[in-house]
Chain A
Amino acid sequence: MTLKTSSRKLNPFFKMLMFTLRKNFGIIIVLSILALLYCPGSYLANYGAMASSVSSGVKPYEFTQTFCAVISVFAPIFVVLFNFINFSFLYKKSASDVFHAFPLTRAELLISRTISGIIASLIPIFLCVFCYSAMVIFNPWLGNFVTLLQHIAEMLVITLIWSSFSLIFVVCAGSMFDLALSFCGINLATVFISLIYESIIEDTVVGYISNSDILYNLSLPVFCFSHKNNLEFWIRSIVYIVVFTTVAILLYNKRKAEKGGSAYAYKFMYLLCSVFAGICGGYLIGILFNSHYSSVIFWFFATIGAIISCVIYGLITNRGFKGVSRSILMGAIAISTMLAVMIIGVTGGLGYTRRVPIAQKIEQVTVEFEDCCVTFTNPELVIELHNKTIENASSDIDYSNDHVIITFDYKFKIGSSMKRYFCVPREKVEKELLAIYKSNERYEQIKDELFISSNMFRYAEAEYRIDSSSVYRFSYMTKTDCQNLLDAYWKDVQNLNDTSFFNNSYKTTQHLTIDIERYDNEYNYLSFYVGDTFPNTFNYMSEMGYLAFY
């Protein structure tokens, strides 16, 4: 009985898979021709140019990376295309009747046609890879097999992510037009909305340091094509595939077949698209009139823009004016989400601004301001500075007045990290900054950065700039010169008080920059303010006779 049951389950599933694959044969041929035009086609056409680029320093893995970057774009496009074609039956009543009456569960139907789509999309890609591999065998300068395998694995995962992600749209849509509209719209909108929210947060949340994390986390295209080939990428990719596929199956199991022909089988997709359209449209119209999020004019026109966008989207989706009032409501919701982000930002980003980590959880922290960048394993000094900074932080970044920009970069014992970026009146944190400036950790790090403890130290070059017209250069400093210069500098640092430290800041135009090179071609670059309150440093430079004016 078990045998009979399993054979029933397997047969229609595989037969549907194979049948779909056979039906896709024509498109596979067309896409294969397209893929072969790229490789070997374009490679053979540009063979001479590529061969000559090797002599100018292009490495084999760079050719492979370019090749894989191209196929990594094509494979997801192909798989989405096949999913759209293979599930077009969902949008036609008569076709839906036939397919849903077949003795298959919905999950079997969904997965069999998806797998056939994946296979169909990979056939042209692997033909391409096969040709490229053959070319690499005969021309080893053209590629690197290790890089190729690594990127193919990445491409396969990206293809599976897009296949499973597009399935959600396939199941939720009610017509091919709305499927294409929602899929393209949401993927573009996630990039755009991430940038909008990033911009609002950056403008309103005190302490927020701009990075691409929001974009990377919220936008699937950015995640897939950022080529962050690390463990997190692989884990997240697998989670995405499992979650998207599960959601698609669950939605398909509950999908009402009679919805084929209407815009969407699930209302939430319409609402989501509408809100996304509202946010994008609202932002674009708002920013046309005023670029400040604190401005009423921005919000007034953003509201109008959001409502207009939602109404236009509603007109397209509802094929008429039916549901205009709901579109207006969606516009209001869209603008509310933007407002909510701004309000959260202005009020401290749900504790983001005021959060100071507990010392025991910190593995190390790097603090950076002006010419100082120090990493501490004992974070007491930094926490003191952080607390003082929060109390006095300005809501706007101020470069013109007596402000200092401080960056905190915490690494925690559990592996996570936290970054903050503040602008604060310098006089309010002078004492704490000076303590860090004079700290032993800073001395040790400068020493390390000068490679003084390294046997690989080759030479150093320095430049002392008093102002734009007075520049002194020092050539071929030895390790001892560097050590002496550092000792003289450090003596001056230890003599700094609040006032002299304040004057030896952005206010001075006097800089000492040192370039250090090692025997293994590693190099480093350091820069310090060395103003009038650094007599020992200046004396060392002149006494040793290095001063040569250009």
Chain B
Amino acid sequence: MITAKSLTKKFDSKIALDNINLTIPDGCVYGLVGSNGSGKSTLLRLISGVYMTDGGTIQVDDKNCFNNPVIKSQIAFLGDTPYFLPQSNLKEMATLYSSMYPEFDYETYKHLLTVFPLNPKARLSTFSKGMQRQAALILALSTNPKYLLMDEAFDGLDVVMRRVLANIVMDGVQQRGMTAIIASHNLRELENVCDSVCVIHEGKIISNGNIESLRGNMHKVQVAFSEVPEMSVFDSLYVMKTERTGSLLSLVVRGEEDEIMQFINSLNPLYAECIEPTLEEVFVYELEVCGYDVKNILS
């Protein structure tokens, strides 16, 4: 379990993370979402022990991460820009990783080389951006980490590879109880992968929780009337957002689906349908209610 308590990180005078409190349970896929410079990558570097905190604590399994080799041996951190030693190839990098990480598994490495078909003897500097990311993924996943931290994990990968990566991560979580933390500025990327999502904005957590529970009691109702009633009719519902296009109303309502639809149908609409909002919509509605400029946050 990863626990952050009053975690603060500053870059000179700029506060990158401001008094963050966070708990990431084991065995889940956790998404970190936020615009560029929101503090996602900083949080990942703090967890992986690359950065030291300027205030508060960040602990993995109740132990501080910074300068702690035992904890760091359980973490694989995949930064936003893959790095390989100059003039090296994947085989050499695997040698380095295998000497550093006690759990490095050559079987997994070989298996991943079949999933991501790369030439292990070719110079990594000749690889495309997507191939370099695949190489970095192979190395990170071969360490059999308990915690896999990925910054902009899907960046540079094509659609097929994104799906492959998502499946590998899911397998790791299900089979080994791995915890994956994926930072992205694109919420749509995380929608079908993450169990929980944390939205960070300007170094602060503005939303954090399990996707299903967040999504669970929020509904998007599209309803058409021959004659649109006064909006006050819906006062008995917890309407978060209303949009009107002619005689078609789109309502975002919080509550039980049956109760909402029962009420809507009692108004004799021409057409009424309850659809599940996308994760992005959930956050947009939630955050707009809180007064955030959502377009800026979920770019």
Contact = CB atoms under 8 A, between A and B. Distances in A.
Interface stretch (A115-123, A128-136, A253-261, A372-380): A253-261
Interface stretch (B67-75, B157-165, B229-237, B258-266): B67-75
Contact of B50 (A19, A92, A100, A254): A100
B99 A15 contact: yes
A41 interface: no
A6 to B, nearest CB: 12
Given A257-B50, A258-B51, A102 B100 contact: yes
A18 B48 CA distance: 24
B51 A101 contact: no
Contact of B102 (A8, A105, A106, A256): A8
Interface string A466-490: 0000000000000000000000000
A338 interface: no
A105 B51 contact: no
Nearest to A89: B83
A146 interface: no
Contact of B83 (A12, A98, A103, A106): A98
Given A101-B72, A101-B77, A258-B11, A15 B50 contact: no
A541 interface: no
B88 to A, nearest CB: 8
A16 B100 contact: yes
Interface string B37-79: 0000000010011111000000000000001111011011101
Contacts of A106: 67
> Which of B52, B79, B81, B100: most chain A Cβ within 10 A?
B100
Contact of B99 (A19, A97, A105, A258): A19
B82 A103 contact: no
Given A103-B69, A257-B45, A97 B100 contact: no
Chain A interface bracket (under 10, 10 to 19, 20 to 34, 35 or more): 20 to 34
Contact of B101 (A18, A93, A103, A257): A103
A11 B72 CA distance: 15
A95 interface: yes
Given A23-B85, A94-B83, A101-B77, A12 B50 contact: no
A258 to B, nearest CB: 6
A157 B172 CA distance: 51
A227 B221 CA distance: 88
Nearest to A13: B69
Given A19-B95, A257-B45, A94 B50 contact: no
Contacts of B50: 96-97, 100-101, 257
B49 A100 contact: yes
A279 B92 CA distance: 48
Contact of A101 (B49, B81, B96, B99): B49
Contacts of A8: 69-70, 73, 102
B77 to A, nearest CB: 4
A102 B76 CA distance: 9
Nearest to A14: B99
A256 B68 CA distance: 16
Contact of A94 (B11, B67, B79): B79
Given A100-B49, A102-B100, A94 B72 contact: no
Interface of A: 8-9, 11-12, 15-16, 18-19, 23, 92-98, 100-106, 108, 253-254, 256-258
Given A15-B100, A253-B67, A258-B45, 6 more contacts: A23-B85, A92-B83, A97-B48, A102-B72, A106-B67, A258-B11
Q: 9 closest pairs, A vs B, by CB? A: A15-B99, A103-B73, A94-B83, A103-B72, A103-B69, A94-B81, A97-B79, A100-B50, A101-B77
26 contacts: A8-B102, A9-B69, A11-B102, A19-B99, A23-B85, A94-B82, A96-B50, A97-B48, A97-B50, A97-B77, A97-B79, A97-B83, A100-B48, A101-B48, A101-B72, A101-B75, A101-B76, A101-B77, A102-B72, A103-B72, A103-B100, A254-B52, A256-B51, A257-B50, A258-B11, A258-B51
